[in-house]
């Protein structure tokens, strides 16, 4: 869609830096992309674009986490539809966040007692973020609630193969696997 270095083409390459920006750009001063000429630093367009994108990414992450926190508050207040709406907003901001999918699954499984609907969200959480341990645990719990013990066992086996032994839920998954095998 945009060519290289064209994203912010209209921005000038030469900029006076305010003191608050000095720290950010001073870390880049060793780079060949920034050159000092008196009190003015010339910044390569690509470097400027990267700095703007990093700032936008940080702001987006804050907005994503704000929606997740609002969803958790709504869930705690048993306002399940509102919680889902907040989690869905978080997914619009960051569709690669497994925790938002997991949280929607939690609303359906634990809040609305609808494990069939929850299942799709837990699957999505583990698919897009395989290292997300709670997604695996909740998927197995949901499968068990649906009476699908064989898939719950497979889910735990998959999780144990993906997660590291020092993961804080590894032992919980092993214990759950043992319970399912009895």
Domain count, the chain: 1
Is residue 40 in a domain?
A: no
Is residue 167 in a domain?
A: yes
**Which pLDDT tens digit goes with each residue over 113-135?**
999 999 999 999 999 999 999 99
The CATH number that applies at residue 119 is 1.25.40.10
Is residue 37 in a domain?
A: no
Is residue 150 in a domain?
A: yes
Is residue 71 in a domain?
A: yes
Domain that holds residue 136: 64-181
CB 94 within 8 A of CB 57: no
| DSSP strands (E only) in 17-154 | 34-37, 40-43
Is residue 46 in a domain?
A: no
DSSP 8-state code for residue 120: H
Is residue 107 in a domain?
A: yes
**Which pLDDT tens digit goes with each residue over 141-154?**
999 999 999 999 99
Of how many residues is the chain composed? 182
Tokens of 83: 């919680």
How far is residue 135's CA from residue 176's CA, in Å, rounded to a whole number? 14
Is residue 1 in a domain?
A: no
How far is residue 105's CA from residue 113's CA, in Å, rounded to a whole number? 10
pTM of the shown model: 0.68
């Amino acid at each position: 869609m945009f060519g290289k270095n064209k994203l912010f083409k209209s921005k000038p390459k030469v900029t006076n830096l305010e003191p608050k920006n000095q720290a950010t750009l001073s870390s880049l001063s060793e780079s060949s992309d920034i050159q000092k000429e008196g009190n003015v630093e010339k910044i390569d367009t690509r470097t400027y674009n990267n700095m703007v994108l990093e700032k936008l990414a940080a702001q987006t992450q804050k907005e994503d986490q704000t929606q997740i926190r609002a969803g958790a508050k709504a869930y705690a207040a048993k306002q399940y539809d509102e919680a889902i709406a907040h989690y869905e907003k978080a997914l619009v901001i960051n569709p690669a966040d497994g925790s938002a999918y997991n949280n929607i699954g939690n609303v359906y499984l634990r809040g609305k007692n609808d494990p069939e609907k929850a299942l799709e969200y837990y699957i999505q959480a583990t698919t897009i973020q395989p290292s997300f341990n709670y997604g695996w645990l909740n998927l197995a719990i949901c499968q068990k609630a649906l009476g699908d013990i064989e898939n719950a066992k497979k889910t735990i086996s998959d999780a144990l193969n993906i997660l590291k032994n020092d993961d804080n839920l590894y032992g919980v998954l092993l214990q759950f696997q043992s319970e399912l095998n009895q």
